[in-house]
Chain A
Amino acid sequence: MQTIYILWIRQIKRYYRSKSRIIGALGQPLLFLVALGFGFGPVFQQAGQGNYLEFLTPGVVAMSIIFSAVFSGMEIIFDRQFGFLKETLVAPVSRFNIMLGRTLGGATVSTAQGVIVVLLSLIFGFRFHSLVSIPLAIVFMFLIALLFTAIGTAIGSALKDFQGFQLIVNFFIMPLFFLSGAVFPLSSAPQTLRTIAAFDPLTYGVDGLRLALINVGQYSLLTDFGVLLVLSFIALSIGAYSFSKIQI
């Protein structure tokens, strides 16, 4: 427990000390909210789909969470390069606990990043549909964060340097985001796209978050929750396996 706790705290300390990272990570969501939110707003309204900014916000929140989460998971690479990883690997504690502590830390930090984006969206006119929204949304944000931090850890354990990060952004994070129904309603999308989206884990994250925040969605809360939970469990197992195989 001590191991998990101290490595969790470590991630949090590193996060709130890097102000540039917190602020830097807000640029992209801000741009999406302003340009897409206000740009497509009128068209969306005319098509009879309602308020686009409200529809978009959960998607943008999910996006900022997965960016932060995958990056946090992949921070293992920094630890490898700066040597701190060795310090944890020679300690008399199980590697699973080390991996779990840092993954939970990364997930917590990414959830915080999501909360900041939600608060930011309030400025642009986003409103929760009820007070229950808040705790429920945090649960979903945390699940998305946990899943993607675990994936980041699995990837980071297998890589030696950050050269591949751009590859992962362009061929992994971006497709997951754009195919998840984060920026358009899946209900009116072509069947092919809907089928693809059904295999995108983030679809369930965005859907759950949207149900929690504005009570709009295509699956049920329980389905979204279940899918995310199972996938998180699988990703954690893969991450733990991948982490246990590290040799220096």
Chain B
Amino acid sequence: MENIVSVNNLVKKFGDFRAVDDISFAIPKGEIFAFLGPNGAGKSTTIKMMTTLLEKTSGEIKIAGYDIDKGKDNIRKCLGIVFQDPSLDDELTAYENMEIHARLYGVDRKTLKEKIKGLLEFVELWDRQDKFVKTFSGGMKRRLEIARGFLHAPQVLFLDEPTQGLDPQTRNHIWSYVLKLNQEQGLTVFFTTHYIEEAEKIAGRVAIIDHGKIIASGTPIELMAQTKSANLEEAFLALTGNVIRDEEVSAEENMRRFANARRK
């Protein structure tokens, strides 16, 4: 099957620090692909480059046939994105957040209301459409963001640690929405996580990333066979070692470190 996402020799440097170090991968249409890695491995930096938020240092990113260097807007139209931290306007209602998104993505105004209603019903928030987002719990916000990310019928859905900090019930719900969208509409999903059981259960293929490099990739079963492990967690530890990692640093933090290093 054709690849809807292809990344070749992608590099992101912050000064001398290579946050993403020459990675390549491809995702066939309709697949659920997971990036699994410890904190600070380069997962979020990769997603930021792929979603046009951060400029890459070098390499090639192609999504839905469009090259990111030849115009970002074509790619932006194809992407649905749920960020690691909330990106909603708290002072507006759930419906208004959806409406802004629809207008930004040029969703047809005639069908807009029905679409928003359908999606809010899908994530079980329709009865709260008039409530301000600031009154929502973390899980409700995340559900709203998933509904919003799907409003413009994207071809690829990006989820950056979508279930972090959520209770098991909400996590289950969120994955059931995503799986449903994947099965019913053939949506391609790219997600990052450090919950191994999520990668094992949800993803068709997993890439294990550490220190900015992809150190292994394949189906969970392939990875277990490769490392002679009984489950994906053991495979993961066999590949990335047992050392505890620092909290994941943001791109901003990297730049600050870079600036400080230069001053010294």
Interface of A toward B, CB cutoff 8 Å = 2-3, 5-7, 10, 13-14, 17-18, 79, 82-93, 160, 247-248
* Given A79-B89, A90-B76, A92-B76; 13 other pairs, CB 8 A cutoff: A2-B104, A10-B89, A10-B92, A13-B91, A14-B92, A82-B89, A83-B86, A91-B76, A91-B105, A92-B105, A247-B251, A248-B48, A248-B54
Q: Looking across the interface, which residue of chain A has its beta carbon closest to that of B99?
A: A6
Residues of chain A contacted by B76 (CB below 8 angstroms): 90-92
Residues of chain B contacted by A17 (CB below 8 angstroms): 91
Report the separation of the CA atoms of residues A196 and B234 in the bound assembly, to the nearest whole angstrom: 72
**Is A248 a contact partner of B53 (Cβ separation < 8 A)?**
yes
Residues of chain A contacted by B101 (CB below 8 angstroms): 87, 91
B222 to chain A, nearest CB (A): 33
- Given known pairs A82-B90, A90-B81, the reply for A10 and B100 (CB within 8 Å) is yes
The answer to whether the Cβ of B85 comes within 8 Å of any Cβ in the partner chain is yes
Q: Looking across the interface, which residue of chain A has its beta carbon closest to that of B72?
A: A92
**Is B87 a contact partner of A87 (Cβ separation < 8 A)?**
yes
**Is B54 a contact partner of A91 (Cβ separation < 8 A)?**
no
Report the separation of the CA atoms of residues A114 and B106 in the bound assembly, to the nearest whole angstrom: 34
Question: Can you list 18 A-B contacts (CB < 8 A)?
Answer: A2-B106, A3-B104, A5-B103, A6-B103, A13-B91, A13-B92, A84-B88, A86-B53, A87-B87, A88-B104, A89-B53, A90-B51, A90-B79, A91-B76, A92-B105, A247-B53, A247-B54, A248-B251
Q: Looking across the interface, which residue of chain A has its beta carbon closest to that of B100?
A: A6
Q: Looking across the interface, which residue of chain A has its beta carbon closest to that of B90?
A: A82
Which one of A2, A18, A92 has the highest number of Cβ atoms from chain B below 10 Å of its Cβ? A92
Report the separation of the CA atoms of residues A5 and B86 in the bound assembly, to the nearest whole angstrom: 24
The answer to whether the Cβ of B16 comes within 8 Å of any Cβ in the partner chain is no
The answer to whether the Cβ of B96 comes within 8 Å of any Cβ in the partner chain is yes
B94-117 at interface with A (beta carbon < 8 Å): 96, 99-101, 103-106
A84 CB contact (under 8 Å) in B52, B77, B87, B106: B87
A95 to chain B, nearest CB (A): 10
Residues of B in contact with A, size category: 20 to 34
**Is B52 a contact partner of A247 (Cβ separation < 8 A)?**
no
Contact with A along B23-57 (1 / 0, CB 8 A): 00000000000000000000000001001111100
A86 CB contact (under 8 Å) in B72, B87, B103, B105: B87
**Is A83 a contact partner of B85 (Cβ separation < 8 A)?**
yes
B242-264 at interface with A (beta carbon < 8 Å): 251-252
Report the separation of the CA atoms of residues A86 and B48 in the bound assembly, to the nearest whole angstrom: 10
B28 to chain A, nearest CB (A): 24
Q: Looking across the interface, which residue of chain A has its beta carbon closest to that of B93?
A: A13
Residues of chain A contacted by B86 (CB below 8 angstroms): 82-83
Q: Looking across the interface, which residue of chain A has its beta carbon closest to that of B53?
A: A248
The answer to whether the Cβ of B73 comes within 8 Å of any Cβ in the partner chain is yes
Residues of chain A contacted by B51 (CB below 8 angstroms): 90
Report the separation of the CA atoms of residues A92 and B83 in the bound assembly, to the nearest whole angstrom: 17
Residues of chain B contacted by A88 (CB below 8 angstroms): 104
Report the separation of the CA atoms of residues A82 and B85 in the bound assembly, to the nearest whole angstrom: 9
Report the separation of the CA atoms of residues A84 and B145 in the bound assembly, to the nearest whole angstrom: 11
Residues of chain B contacted by A85 (CB below 8 angstroms): 87
- Given known pairs A84-B88, A84-B89, A248-B53, the reply for A6 and B104 (CB within 8 Å) is yes
Q: Looking across the interface, which residue of chain B has its beta carbon closest to that of A86?
A: B87
Residues of chain A contacted by B77 (CB below 8 angstroms): 92
B87 CB contact (under 8 Å) in A5, A83, A93: A83
